[in-house]
Amino acid sequence: MRLPVVLMATLFLGTPMADAQQSQAPPPHEAIAAVRALNEEYIDAARANDATWFHQYMAEDAVVILGTGRRVRKLEFLALLTSEPKSYRSLTVRDITLRAFGPTVQVDADAPWELANGSKGISRYIDTYAWLEGRWQVISAQVTLLPESGARAQRY
């Protein structure tokens, strides 16, 4: 008789069953639903320059590639939110696609925005969430500023 891996871990390693189950990512449909909700919170947090949200939901070693191409880690990203906040008149999201790959979910979408100073643009982003420590955490984010003429460029 073969014992399930979770039961073997509990018997031989002393790992409580709840802890072992918590380490497994939810099934794809649940993962996508959870990350879809987190994506909405992410956009709300970006609109509000809410460093607290990002501190809570970004993995400690997360990397962010800004629209300028600049690569920053979590602490530098949090510092930018507070030291160089953006004042949005509007920030929305469209054309959202979520894809689950086991313990990883990727979100890609377009985010049209307008700043308080009247400048406008569209950012295309891809965020990657990983199931870490029993919860979804952002492990990477990349933002690409779309040129005005390519704002509705086709995906491939």
Contacts 24+ apart (CB under 8 A), 18-24: 22/134, 23/134, 24/103, 24/131
Q: Name the residue range of residue 53's domain.
A: 24-147
In a domain, residue 51? The reply is yes
What's the CATH code of the domain at 86? 3.10.450.50
Q: What is the pLDDT of residue 45?
A: 97
In a domain, residue 153? The reply is no
- The structure's pTM equals 0.81
In a domain, residue 65? The reply is yes
Spans of the chain below 70 pLDDT: 1-22, 149-156
In a domain, residue 16? The reply is no
Q: What is the pLDDT of residue 152?
A: 53
Tally of structural domains, the chain: 1
